Structure 1
Amino acid sequence: MTFKTIIKTVFIFSIFIGISSCIDKTKTVDNRNAIGIFNYDNEQQLTEYNKLNLDDTHPNLLNPQISKSDHSLVMKSWANLHQKLGNHLSENKFNWEVEDSTITVVHKIYFTPQGAIENYFFNVLNKTVRIEKKEEYANLISSFAKNNRIEYKKDSNFAQCGKTKYLNN
């Protein structure tokens, strides 16, 4: 082998290693930024959600026994988050495409100590809503969660759950 051939081989090998290490780093970043969205009606997602046992590590702040001193602040932050979520759905022209006048969604949202949304579990109670609309709703929740947080912070992870009725125009 000539010196030029050895240099070319080392150079190509270095480029290959550099590219593959960039690909691995990109995958790691994407996984850390992933937000878990779980639809009750999707059996696979429900199984994944149940395996996480999130209720063991995220106490529900809407329980007055857990958030005794700042219960009103918790309630206000919860209402503000839902207002922002409703605006997000409207801005994206989301429509449930059913005749029901309201759509009821039971959800549980899991937060980091800084208030970032970590996981979102939901169950659309209206039986007339198609699975495709539930998937579209999940995608909008995912995009909402990347850029929004609850206006509340705590020393540890926490959750909030509730039932929301969306007007269906």
Structure 2
Amino acid sequence: MRKLLMFIFLYVLTFSCDNNETVIVVNSDDEDKYLELMKLKLDDAYNNLLDSKLSTENEYKEVLKSWGSFHQQVGEIVKEHKFDWGVKDSLILVMNKVYFNKKGKVAYYLFKVKNESVSKSKKVEYEKLLLENISKIKIDLKRENKFSQCGKSKYLNI
């Protein structure tokens, strides 16, 4: 049964983003999903946004502004849904790697919540929240090729 579920997950990963309708969100703490995502070798297919072949030095400020705006949009999703992290930490640190299509829409969103006090169930809730809402936002950049960017976000835990 587990192999069948992993096959289905891999199938969805492989074919769903070609039509730009489905977004894959993966919590890197979920080893099975994470390993399946790594098998896709996305870094070979998506150029790093900060690569000089993709973004010129003159565009750097625009890239930073767009990346920051993207994370503000993610933060608004968290805030709008009154997401409760279930901890007393004042800040929640999330590392992420986002893979975008040429138009700036999210194709894959990989994340890791760094606060050790956040429970596994809350991380799963966060993954579900992202999965349900991430297709509504995009980065304000377009490129000739698919691109990716990684970084960290800090969310106020109110």
Measure how far apart 1:84 and its partner are: 1.1
Aligned partner of 2:76: which letter?
A: N
RMSD: 1.9
Query: Partner residue of 1:34?
Result: 22
Report the number of matched residues. Answer: 141
Bigger Cα Rg:
1
Question: Which of these residues, 147, 155, 162, is aligned with residue 144 of structure 2?
Answer: 155
Structure 1 residue 63: deviation in Å? Answer: 4.7
Conserved 8 A contact 1:38-1:45? yes
Indicate whether 1:45 and 2:33 are aligned.
yes
Q: Is the CA contact 1:59–1:159 (under 8 Å) kept in the aligned structure 2?
A: yes
Change (3 A) 1:138 1:47: same
Match of 1:14 in 2: none
The within-5 A match list for 1:99-114 is 99-114=88-103
- Where structure 2 has 5 or more consecutive residues not aligned to the other structure, the ranges are 1-14
SS of alignment partner, residue 129 of structure 1:
coil
> C-alpha displacement at 1:139, in angstroms?
1.4
Deviates more, 1:114-123 or 1:137-146: 137-146
Q: Deviations over 1:43-85 (max 9, x none)?
A: 1111112111111111221356742231111111111111111
Query: Which residue does 1:129 correspond to in 2?
Result: 118
Q: Corresponding residue for 1:77?
A: 66
Q: TM-score, normalised by structure 1?
A: 0.77
How many angstroms apart in 2 are the aligned matches of 1:63 and 1:133?
Answer: 34
TM-score when normalising by structure 2: 0.82
Name the % identity. Answer: 39
Aligned to 1:139: 128
The answer as to whether partners of 2:74 and 2:134 remain within 8 angstroms in 1 is: no
**In structure 1, distance between residues paired with 2:141 and 2:126:** 24
